[in-house]
Copies of this chain bind each other. A is one copy, B any other.
Amino acid sequence: MNKITSLFNIQYPIIQAGMIWCSGWKLAAAVSNAGGLGLIGSGSMNPEILTTHIRKCKDATSKPFGVNIPLMFPFADEFIRIVVDENVKIVFTSAGNPAKWTNYLKEKGIVVVHVVANAKSAKKCEEVGVDAIVAEGFEAGGHNGKEETTTMVLIPLVRKTVSIPLIAAGGIATGKGMLAAMTLGADGVQIGSRFVASVESSAHQNFKNKIIETKDGDTFLTLKRIGPVRLIKNKFFFETEQKQNEGASIEELSELLGRGRAKKGMFDGNSEDGELEIGQVAALFNEIEPAANIVREIVEEFEQAHKEISKPFFK
């Protein structure tokens, strides 16, 4: 048992990130059934769809699972009501002010985790009573902090800053990565990219295939003036880069991005004109696997690496 396994009542401190277009009930239930914590990513859902996913997830697992709610999402307030009504026990909030809903959710008996990308936000989370923090580094896929602090620096920094349980995210897809993150001060890890490429992920097969082919340098943090996001370098990416280099306004960039680009790329499978959010760590794995295998491989590699590291290193 550690702080994260006991907080969520799970077997391994491995959290599957709640992600748009990829992490519905199938993935969340598969990860929870495998001993980790599965999260339903609500950021691409509407209230009806979220309700359905929560109910199906409950049918598919008797283990704890959670819902990720991006607080700046138009449906966020309604989603808060839904998770309470549906008796969800764990909520990860992101992209917004943790002060807004933490007290309310905790009064309802819900464990609240908030995602941050800098030490100041971590401090604020602790002050408003959040139960645990996800600290996410620059290498992570999708939306990302403006500070661009990497996991290697962010985790020890947040660890120095707060004493509540800490979950490391960004650049982690393997047991060794997990052990490194815990060496830096994390109590657990949140893994996104590798689960996007799992069998149970609702990502389009084209997107999954693209992810496992990704090499170092194939993703990039772009659209910094709108809100930094890490994408695979495809035709859409290069179009946005060109617009930015030509000095496009925020309005022009927002128009190019549009509302449907992420769905087009990640859910509908248009790998050239769609937005493909994935982390740098995609360069480290090359297989589409069932989520349970992923959890098992991570745990086995973690335990093996832990055994090896316990031997003397030098001198």
Closest-by-CB residue of B relative to A305 is B183
Is B280 a contact of A313 with CB atoms below 8 Å?
Answer: no
Expressed in whole angstroms, the Cα–Cα distance for A279 and B171 within the complex equals 18
Is A314 a contact of B176 with CB atoms below 8 Å?
Answer: no
Q: Is A185 an interface residue (CB 8 A)?
A: yes
Is A313 a contact of B147 with CB atoms below 8 Å?
Answer: no
* A contacts with B, residue count (CB < 8 A): 56
Q: CB < 8 Å: which of B118, B147, B176 contacts A183?
A: B176
Is A314 a contact of B13 with CB atoms below 8 Å?
Answer: yes
Is A153 a contact of B313 with CB atoms below 8 Å?
Answer: no
Expressed in whole angstroms, the Cα–Cα distance for A306 and B302 within the complex equals 15
Q: Is A245 an interface residue (CB 8 A)?
A: yes
Is A152 a contact of B172 with CB atoms below 8 Å?
Answer: yes
Closest-by-CB residue of B relative to A280 is B153
Expressed in whole angstroms, the Cα–Cα distance for A74 and B302 within the complex equals 47
Is B217 a contact of A2 with CB atoms below 8 Å?
Answer: no
Expressed in whole angstroms, the Cα–Cα distance for A284 and B185 within the complex equals 13
Expressed in whole angstroms, the Cα–Cα distance for A221 and B146 within the complex equals 12
Expressed in whole angstroms, the Cα–Cα distance for A315 and B88 within the complex equals 25
Q: Is A260 an interface residue (CB 8 A)?
A: no
Interface residues in A290-315 (C-beta closer than 8 Å to B): 302, 305-306, 309-310, 313-315
Number of identical protomers: 2
Is A215 a contact of B119 with CB atoms below 8 Å?
Answer: yes
Q: CB < 8 Å: which of B160, B182, B217, B314 contacts A5?
A: B314
Q: Which residues of B contact A302 (CB under 8 A)?
A: 313
Expressed in whole angstroms, the Cα–Cα distance for A153 and B215 within the complex equals 11
- A57-78: CB near B (< 8 Å → 1, else 0) gives 0000000000000000000000
- A152-183: CB near B (< 8 Å → 1, else 0) gives 11101100100000000011101011011111
- Which of A1, A153, A313 has the most chain B CB within a 10 Å cutoff? A153
Expressed in whole angstroms, the Cα–Cα distance for A12 and B314 within the complex equals 7
Q: Which residues of B contact A84 (CB under 8 A)?
A: none
Q: Which residues of B contact A13 (CB under 8 A)?
A: 314
Q: Is A255 an interface residue (CB 8 A)?
A: no
Expressed in whole angstroms, the Cα–Cα distance for A171 and B171 within the complex equals 14
Q: CB < 8 Å: which of B2, B150, B183 contacts A150?
A: B150
Q: Is A149 an interface residue (CB 8 A)?
A: yes
Q: Which residues of B contact A174 (CB under 8 A)?
A: 156
19 contacts between A and B (CB under 8 A): A2-B313, A2-B314, A11-B315, A12-B314, A119-B216, A119-B283, A138-B138, A139-B149, A148-B221, A149-B280, A149-B283, A150-B151, A150-B171, A152-B152, A152-B170, A153-B284, A180-B184, A182-B313, A309-B309
11 more CB-based (< 8 A) A-B contacts, given A119-B283, A176-B184, A302-B313: A119-B215, A138-B150, A153-B216, A153-B281, A154-B216, A156-B177, A180-B181, A180-B183, A182-B309, A183-B309, A310-B310
